[in-house]
Amino acid sequence: MNNSQSISILFGVIVGVISLITALLLGVNDTEKLLTAGIISIFSSTLLFAIITENLFDKKIKEIYKSFERIRNQEFERVQVDTSILRNINPLRGINEEIYNYASLK
């Protein structure tokens, strides 16, 4: 189980617990209804967080690692820059500048 799956399960459990507490505070005392609501909220939120982490974070991180691997192998002509990442995430801008500074020295 990798980190994104663990985080998805953790957030799913947190959302499920919050849903159960909310249902209890609203006066639902039937254990069957509470159990059903808890299971549905845990599974649906876990699935949602898994999709979000896979599509948003893991793919971009893989692209960054591929760029580092190409630089390590000195395949500078194949390095592709995704400017949307650089505009949205400031630390990557600094990393990108370091990469190009290193490449210009070679």
Choice between 34 and 60, residue whose per-residue pLDDT is larger: 34
pLDDT at 86 over 70: no
pLDDT at 87 over 60: no
Quick check: helix, strand or coil at residue 30? coil
pLDDT tens-digit map of 5-44: 888 899 999 999 999 999 999 888 888 988 898 899 999 9
Mean of all residue pLDDT scores within the chain: 79
Long-range contacts (CB closer than 8 Å, 24 or more residues apart) made by 49-54: 49/7, 49/8, 49/11, 49/12, 50/4, 50/5, 50/8, 53/4, 53/7, 53/8, 54/4
* Dist. CA 17–CA 34, nearest whole Å: 11
